[in-house]
């Protein structure tokens, strides 16, 4: 009686299972590093706008926001890409992952919402709707 033996790894890629898992692990680390950088940039922007937002000209404000949106969009894409690649390589190793696209869609949506809220915050700093109490002037 013949038994079918599936090789561990991906012979078509010329990699062992350990190499595949190592690459998958490096993609997970890249995703986590990207997430860390995303939140660092988010809070740096909020603090910078809180401190200097009122002093910026309209052109400076538009340029700062454009650069911020470009960088944050790239970070969100980086997080998505590294997570997708990590899931692909986990599949090559013959493992099932629970961090599918649904989870990324939720976290990507939350990240996009945080970027929009930070832009709203910076706009409110530039154009406050009420006067501060006289004790805080």
Average pLDDT, the chain: 83
Helix or strand or coil: residue 1? coil
The pTM (predicted TM-score) of the whole model is 0.77
Residues across the chain: 137
**Residue 131 DSSP symbol:** P
Dist CA 50 CA 121 (whole Å):
9
Q: Could you give phi then psi for residue 31, rounded to 5 degrees? A: -65, -45
Using one digit for the tens of pLDDT, what is the confidence trace for 75-114?
999 988 888 888 888 887 777 766 566 676 777 889 999 9
Task: Please give the Cα distance from 134 to 137 (Å, whole number).
Answer: 5
- pLDDT tens-digit series, residues 7-51: 555 666 777 778 888 888 898 899 899 999 999 999 999 999 999
On whether the CB atoms of residues 85 and 27 are closer than 8 A, the answer is yes
Q: Compute the distance between CA of residue 109 and CA of residue 42 in angstroms, rounded to an integer.
A: 15
Closest CA to 17 of 93, 90, 87: 93
Residues 49-64, mean pLDDT to the nearest whole number: 92
């Amino acid at each position: 009686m013949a038994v079918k033996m599936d090789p561990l790894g991906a012979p078509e890629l010329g990699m062992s299972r350990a190499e595949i898992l190592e690459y998958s692990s490096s993609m997970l680390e890249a995703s986590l590093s990207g997430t860390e950088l995303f939140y660092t940039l988010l809070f740096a922007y909020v603090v910078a706008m809180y401190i200097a937002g009122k002093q910026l000209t309209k052109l400076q404000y538009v340029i700062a926001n454009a650069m911020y949106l470009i960088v944050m969009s790239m970070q969100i894409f980086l997080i998505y890409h590294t997570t997708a690649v990590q899931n692909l390589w986990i599949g090559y190793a013959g493992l099932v992952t629970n961090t599918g696209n649904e989870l990324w869609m939720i976290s990507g949506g939350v990240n996009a919402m945080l970027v929009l809220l930070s832009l709203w915050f910076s706009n409110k700093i530039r154009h406050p709707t009420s006067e501060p109490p006289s004790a805080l002037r």
